[in-house]
Amino acid sequence: MDPVIVKETLIKVLSQIQADSGLECPALTGATKPIENIPKFDSKVWPVATTILATEIKAEIPNDVNIFVDEATKLARTIDETAVFVCNLLKKQGEQEAAAA
Q: What is the pLDDT of residue 101?
A: 77
Q: Above pLDDT 70, what percent of the chain?
A: 100
pTM: 0.94
- Domain enclosing residue 49, as ranges: 3-100
6 pLDDT exceeds 90? yes
Query: Which residue, 69, 66, 87, 85, is CA-closest to 77?
Result: 69
Measured between alpha carbons, how far is 95 from 87 in angstroms, rounded to an integer? 12
Q: pLDDT tens digit string along 26-63?
A: 999 999 999 999 999 999 999 999 999 999 999 999 98
Query: Which residue, 96, 90, 95, is CA-closest to 67?
Result: 90
Query: Which residues lie across from 14 on neighbouring strands?
Result: none
Q: How many domains does the chain have?
A: 1
CATH of the domain at 59: 1.10.1200
71 pLDDT exceeds 90? yes
Query: Which residue, 69, 95, 91, 93, is CA-closest to 82?
Result: 69
